[in-house]
Amino acid sequence: MPIELKVPEVGESITEVQIGPWKKQEGDVVALDETVVEIESDKATVELPAPMAGTITRILKAAGEQATVGEVIGLMEEVAAGVGSAASPAASEPVVDVRRSESRTVIGSVQPASSQPSAPQRVMPAAARVLGEAGVPAEGVGGTGPGAA
């Protein structure tokens, strides 16, 4: 089902705008919130972001044409799951690397899963106390408790 790209409200008293340059053309794939087209009024120029990741299927109003607030100026189709970048996590979603090393679990996204930490990680005393209260031994995480290096 096509998704409509509509002219947003750009000001209280503004009812008509001019379509600015299209940043994407028919057939182009766009990411969520990527600028699709610029909308120009007598007071401001605003960018219309893509409401979802998908493909621009039709441009209904060309650059330079007039449009009213709420008017449909283009159409998009959502990218099917498993196609292109839609199958990979969005840039705004955190990527967490969880791996098992000896008797401890290391969680983070700084190092790739295949690499090992070069130095033991230290746990701050306050964090060690919280871990202890939760029943997790701080020394198993490379902490400052007994047995830590």
Q: Is the same domain home to 8 and 74?
A: yes
Q: Name the token pair of 41.
A: 């009024």
**DSSP 8-class letter at 26:** T
Instruction: Report pLDDT for 123.
Output: 72
- What is the spatial distance between Cα 90 and Cα 10, in angstroms, rounded to a whole number? 28
What is the residue range of 104's domain? 93-112+119-149
Q: Is the same domain home to 7 and 50?
A: yes
Q: Which residues pair with 38 in a beta bridge?
A: 47
pLDDT averaged over every residue in the chain: 75
What are the tens digits of pLDDT across the range 52-95? 999 999 999 999 999 999 999 999 999 865 444 443 444 444 44
- What is the spatial distance between Cα 35 and Cα 23, in angstroms, rounded to a whole number? 7
Q: Is the same domain home to 55 and 105?
A: no
N residues, the chain: 149
Residue 146 binned pLDDT confidence (cut-offs 50, 70, 90): low
Question: Is 86 inside any structural domain?
Answer: no
